[in-house]
Amino acid sequence: MNLLHPQTETEKQKQQLLIIMLLAGIGYYFFIYLNNKREEAKTEINKLFQQNPTINATDLDVGLWKNKENWEEYLDSMYLSSQINLFVREMKNSIKEKQKELEKEKENKKQVRERAIKEIEKTCNDTFGDMKEDLPSVQKAMEKFTKKIKKTPLDDLSLVIEEAQNFLYSERNKIKRLYWDVTDYNWADRWLKRNKESFVTAWKKMKSNLGEEPPYFDAKAIYKISFPPSLWDELTQEQKELAKGNGHDKLILKDEVKDYKFSELITEWEEKVKANPVRGEQNTKSNELDNNAIFYGAPRTGKSIMAEKLAYEADVYPLVTIQGSTLTPRKIDTDASVTLLLKFIFTISSITHDLVNNYGFERAEDDGEVKYILFIDEADQICTNNFDPPRISSSQLTFLKECMGSDNKLEESKNLWIAATNHLDNVNVAVYQSGRLSNRLCFSWTLGDFMRYADDAGISNQFPQRWIDEKTLNDEDNKWVNRFNKIIFDKEFLPFWDKFISANPNAEYEPEQDEEEQKMNNQNNQDDNEEKNKKKKIKWGEMLELFWRLKDSSQLEHFEGNFVNPRQPKVEDAVKESAILSANQISKTIDIRLQDLDKTATRIEDELKTANSTFSENFNNAIEQITGLLSEIGSNMK
């Protein structure tokens, strides 16, 4: 039977049936089977992508789907099952290869990142050694950079490594206090950088002198940070503990400070500055000075108290106190060529870094400074070195001229600076000219200050009128008034005064007499004795000097009120008084002796008169007896 060329009707029917079946099979293949095959292939391929989420079709070789836009379009263009099966196998193999490639690449990236982490760890170890375990800031930074390396593209890892190394070197320099090698923010930092060579030389000399690298550049002066109440409350507990461990603390005023009275000039300055305790600007048109000041006067007259009071009541900036003597270069400084000026600027930079790094203070945006009040106490004790006597090595604070008074205000501090000294004459006058420590404020008590406190204490009515009438004192008496302050007046002078005035009403006393004076008085007449025993008036200065001599010798508690004049007369007065006393004594002695001689002469004269009378009578009797005897002898001879 030839279906291609059917002869019979039956063959024709079979041929037609075969053709229909063939067409149906072709239709099924193309419209049902082939579509299903393609969908199965797509499902299988998509499942492979799902199983390998890090791989996308774009990561594969586009040559797999020839010139088509994507693999799905290429799959839809296939009409043979074998082609589809082959394509699925090729896609499987390509995805597997790509997965291996990615895993290898991932392993390589991991190794690259691990090498980067090891590199910064090595830098950290080389920089800090075992010390890094005690440095929380370094540990936190290492954790941060480690996380950053894991997320940064490999091409950018070198930038992260450089950033980490720069941070570690900068942190090391901060810890080592090599501030000339860290980022400069303000005038003091820039000054250090301009003088970097001097500091590098000093650092090398320190290492050479010690035979090893010191733990840090030890050239700053000792300072204390006192935090006003609001600033102290803002510190964390950890910062408070750190502050106390470093000798800093919360600023607290003593109760008696509230009763302090200062001169009108000091009070005006305080009220002006308290509103905003910064240096401020000088106004040449109105002759208004800036706020910087120099406090001077006798010891313990309230200079330090005023600085503390200002910072406490303003309650906006910390008070940083530098003890003047600690600015004097020590032997280790001198051996390393650290001058007084280098030491001072380095200390200023250290204060700023301390406040920022340890206590979370922020730098001002305009000048990079941290706001604080600088108080240099006992400034007259600052010397250029510690081996010459102060009279030779006194700095006279001339180093401050290098930090203030220039035309470029950007290279000067905007913070409030105050210096305190007991001896203004030991300070170079240029230091307290306008534009530097512009305000000269004297804290020594005057007689007027003393009287005001006496009025408040209710004792001025016990002063003799002669004291009240005396409006001024001489220099010798005034120096004792200058030494007073509120605490000494209340706690020590008032008890002394009660005993003094009780024992010496109206400030008068009877001077004690020694044996010779008593003997002389006994020899004088009654009028002379009355004049000699008359009470003496105690002078202002004598009373004040007695108080201070008892206090200085720790004898106040033993004082019972008995007044002993503490003053030794001056040489010329002593000579004059001695001459007068000697002349009086000689005159009185001569008078007494003359009186004695006169009495003796009278007595002798009386005795002579009596003797002469007796002698004359006896003589006459003897003559008569002799005459009688001679007459009797003459008669016998006859």
pLDDT category at 571 given cuts 50, 70, 90 is very low
pLDDT at residue 117 greater than cutoff 90: yes
pLDDT for the residue 458: 95
**Does the domain formed by 220-442 have CATH 1.10.620.20?**
no
pTM: 0.69
pLDDT for the residue 614: 62
Q: Tens digit of pLDDT for each residue in 500-542?
A: 999 999 999 988 655 555 555 555 545 555 544 578 999 999 9
pLDDT at residue 6 greater than cutoff 90: no
What phi, psi does 321 have (nearest 5°)?
A: -105, 125
pLDDT for the residue 27: 83
Give the least confident one: 89-93, 240-244, 329-333.
Answer: 89-93
pLDDT for the residue 407: 75
pLDDT higher at 19 or 329:
329
pLDDT higher at 127 or 636:
127
The pairing of beta strand 536-537 with beta strand 508-509: antiparallel
Cβ contact 407:441 at 8 Å: no
Cβ contact 228:308 at 8 Å: no
Neighbours of 559 (CB within 10 A): 17
Indicate the average pLDDT of the chain.
86
Cβ contact 189:152 at 8 Å: no
Coarse DSSP helix, strand, coil percentages of the chain, rounded to the nearest 5 percent: 65, 5, 30
Residue where the block lists tokens 């512009």: 438
pLDDT category at 7 given cuts 50, 70, 90 is confident
CA angle 95, 98, 101 (to 5 degrees): 155
pLDDT at residue 241 greater than cutoff 90: yes
Give the least confident one: 315-324, 515-524, 556-565.
Answer: 515-524
As to burial, measured by CB atoms within 10 angstroms (0-12 exposed, 13-18 middle, 19+ buried), residue 303 is: buried
Which of the 8 DSSP states describes residue 490?
I
Mean pLDDT of 439-457: 93
Return d(Cα 38, Cα 75) in angstroms, integer: 7
pLDDT for the residue 605: 67
Catalogue the long-range contacts made by 55-62 (C-beta closer than 8 Å, 24 or more residues apart).
Answer: 55/95, 55/98, 55/99, 55/102, 59/98, 59/102, 60/91, 60/94, 60/95, 60/98, 61/94
pLDDT for the residue 352: 95
- Longest CA pairwise span in the chain (Å): 264
pLDDT at residue 417 greater than cutoff 50: yes
pLDDT at residue 3 greater than cutoff 70: no
Q: Tens digit of pLDDT for each residue in 40-65?
A: 888 988 998 888 888 888 888 888 88
What phi, psi does 419 have (nearest 5°)?
A: -120, 145
Return d(Cα 304, Cα 440) in angstroms, integer: 15
Q: Where are the domains of the chain?
A: 1-136+144-149, 220-442, 447-567, 568-609
